[in-house]
Amino acid sequence: MPLPSPRQPASLPVLIAGGGPVGLTLAALLAEQGVASLVIEADEGYCTGSRAICMSRRSQEILGWVGADRPLVAKGLPWVGGRSYFRNSEVLHFLMPSEPSERFAPMVNIQQYYIEQYAHEAMQRRADLCEVRWSTKVAAVRQSAEGVEVDIDMADGKRETLRAAWLVACDGGRSTVREQLGLQLQGMQYDGRYVIVDIEQETRREVERLAWFDPPSNPGSTILMHRQPDNVWRIDYQIRDDEDPVEAVKPENVLPRVQSHLEMIGETAPWEPLWISIYNAKCLTLNSYRHNRVLFAGDAAHLVPIFGVRGLNSGLDDAANLAWKLAFVLQGRASDSLLDSYSVERVHATRENLAYGAKSTEFMAPPDFGFKLMREAALRLAIEDEHVRPLVNPRQSTPIRYLGSPLNVPAQDDAFSGGAQAGDTAPEAVMQAVGGAGHLTRYFGRDFVALYFSERTSLPEQLARLPVEAIRIARDGHPDSKTLVDHLGQAWKRYDAHEGTLYLIRPDGYVLGRWREPNWPDVTAAVAPYRANPEPLAAHRRASTTETR
Ligand SMILES: Cc1cc2nc3c(=O)[nH]c(=O)nc-3n(C[C@H](O)[C@H](O)[C@H](O)COP(=O)(O)OP(=O)(O)OC[C@H]3O[C@@H](n4cnc5c(N)ncnc54)[C@H](O)[C@@H]3O)c2cc1C
């Protein structure tokens, strides 16, 4: 299907309201799928102020599908663990699962405006298919069975009407699109307030997540610290319930508290504040992210507490889930009911994220006296008892499993004793490929991939006929254009593979189904809802798997 230019607004395939990190990443991912989009952004450029800093491994992988991982890894500060202190004592030193051969660190700290910049640069590399209109606001939305009509207000005061087949609302927590559709986020918000301060100060401290409960520098408070690139510290501290939030963010009240804490931890270099703001945690979501031809993603769809770092990370997962589904529908490769699964999977993910976020928030800022007593008891005990320490361990962002997804193919799961089930993200492994060693996840992110574990050098004929990219995973031998060699044995182990085991991986890196030994009519039926890509995959594949990291 020839794709219209985004500069022909009358025939846009996808209009994206909001050019924050989620909207920009979605546009870049759609372009990677060959789909044109136009992003309408109210501001004149990238965000400012204290926003997201902790980007998960999964987010790095998603950004990697559009080449935005390279600048992110070059600029960001990777970390694998953290420490918690109760008064003067260290009560926890945690490490997230990680090993040197991983493609990405479990977490990278970087300011949100860099993520927006890298996603926008990825869009600019596909300028034939996507663009952003800055300083332009979505003002009104009307939809019909065929598409949407969107009024946009431009900086010069003029109004224009755009038409598109699909509108994706990525316009943040105060979404105009949500308001236009008469929808409301459901849930609750916490009363506890946190002051968020970014300061510039040189430091040689290791990059890790640092938390203090009731520290001598600020008795009764909880303080979190994260290093960011450009010699910036993020400092979050809880204010007392009886403190006036307007007074609390005044520099004369903030700076002495920060100074006292920096002194306590021995950070003596000169410093200056960059941003001061106030935050309270919210647990809110729409009940559905699809409303006919309007789809919701990122903060427009859900607001999760910052403790647990799942806001932007989950927004990028929304974009990853939606991009291939929208592309398949627009390219006639799947029916539009595929988009219902976007809502099912991502609303489920939000509910999980909200549960984790709520637990983290209740630990960071206990909502009542009972929670406070329990937390203090756990922290006291954790000083002496390592069995209590998991109770004070923060829950880090991990990909949500879609085990109940309507897309999953329940294929012979009981024949496996390990590996990844349908609805899990496909495990990573270091492989030998033509051109050198590389990671298996580099092959995900665009189309369906079949991983066929076999020592036999030729692929079965039935596999070659499927509308997927088929890759043979051999234990040894030489790699070729269709064969990766599992020289470290990681893939066979992590996929619990035997001779002939087959996994089908979705374009967003999730397992669709798996077979101990493929029953070809079942495998063919599993991919029947998804027709072949009109564009050959080989031309697209990120050419070699030689590592940059
Ligand atoms: C202090 C703080 C710390 C955080 N830390 C983390 C963290 O470490 N990790 C994490 O994952 N998340 C974190 N978050 C959450 C993260 O910042 C958000 O989840 C993220 O910004 C969501 O991105 P988005 O693109 O959905 O929305 P936004 O970033 O809000 O972008 C929405 C965009 O839409 C535009 N817009 C709004 N209305 C219109 C309109 N009518 N027309 C056109 N454009 C419009 C806005 O200008 C904006 O650019 C943090 C948030 C805060 C406040």
Average pLDDT of the residues of the chain: 90
User: In terms of pLDDT, which residue wins out, 23 or 375?
Assistant: 23
Torsion sign over Cα 110, 68, 483, 461: positive
Digit-coded pLDDT (tens) for 335-367:
999 999 999 999 999 999 999 888 877 777 777
Q: Is the pLDDT of residue 388 over 70?
A: no
Digit-coded pLDDT (tens) for 424-448:
999 999 999 999 999 999 999 999 9
Distance between CA 494 and CA 258 in Å, rounded? 46
Digit-coded pLDDT (tens) for 537-549:
443 344 333 333 3
Ligand 1 within 6 A of CB of 172? yes
Residue whose tokens read 């890759």: 471
Lowest mean pLDDT segment, chosen from 225-229, 281-285, 304-308 = 304-308
Of the candidates 151, 190, 154, the one whose C-alpha atom is nearest the C-alpha of residue 167 is 151
Ligand 1 within 6 A of CB of 39? no
Contact between 126 and 95 (Cβ < 8 Å): no
Digit-coded pLDDT (tens) for 457-504:
888 999 989 999 999 999 999 999 999 999 999 999 999 999 999 999
Contact between 60 and 440 (Cβ < 8 Å): no
Distance between CA 58 and CA 490 in Å, rounded? 19
Order across the sheet with 77-79: list the strands.
54-56, 107-109, 77-79
Per the DSSP assignment, residues forming a β-bridge with 159 are: 153
Contact between 333 and 527 (Cβ < 8 Å): no
Ligand 1 within 6 A of CB of 76? no
Report the pLDDT value the prediction gives residue 109, as an integer from 0 to 100.
97
pLDDT band, residue 88 (cuts 50/70/90): confident
Report the pLDDT value the prediction gives residue 50, as an integer from 0 to 100.
94
Residue to substitute in 171, 296, 303, 321 for testing ligand 1 pocket (most ligand atoms within 8 angstroms of CB): 171
Per the DSSP assignment, residues forming a β-bridge with 82 are: 94, 209
- In this prediction, residues 509-517 reach a mean pLDDT of 95
Report the pLDDT value the prediction gives residue 549, as an integer from 0 to 100.
30
Q: Percent of the chain having pLDDT more than 70?
A: 93
Per the DSSP assignment, residues forming a β-bridge with 150 are: 141, 162
- In this prediction, residues 149-178 reach a mean pLDDT of 97
Ligand 1 within 6 A of CB of 309? yes
Lowest mean pLDDT segment, chosen from 63-67, 103-107, 259-263, 530-534 = 530-534
Of ligand 1's listed atoms, the one at least distance from the Cα of 53 is 8
Q: Is the pLDDT of residue 113 over 80?
A: yes
Contact between 279 and 361 (Cβ < 8 Å): no
> For the whole model, what pTM was predicted?
0.94
Report the pLDDT value the prediction gives residue 363, as an integer from 0 to 100.
76
Distance between CA 383 and CA 106 in Å, rounded? 26
Q: How far is the CA of 112 from the centre of ligand 1 (A)?
A: 9
User: In terms of pLDDT, which residue wins out, 2 or 420?
Assistant: 420
Q: Percent of the chain having pLDDT more than 90?
A: 75
Q: 121: burial class by Cβ within 10 Å (0-12, 13-18, 19+)?
A: middle
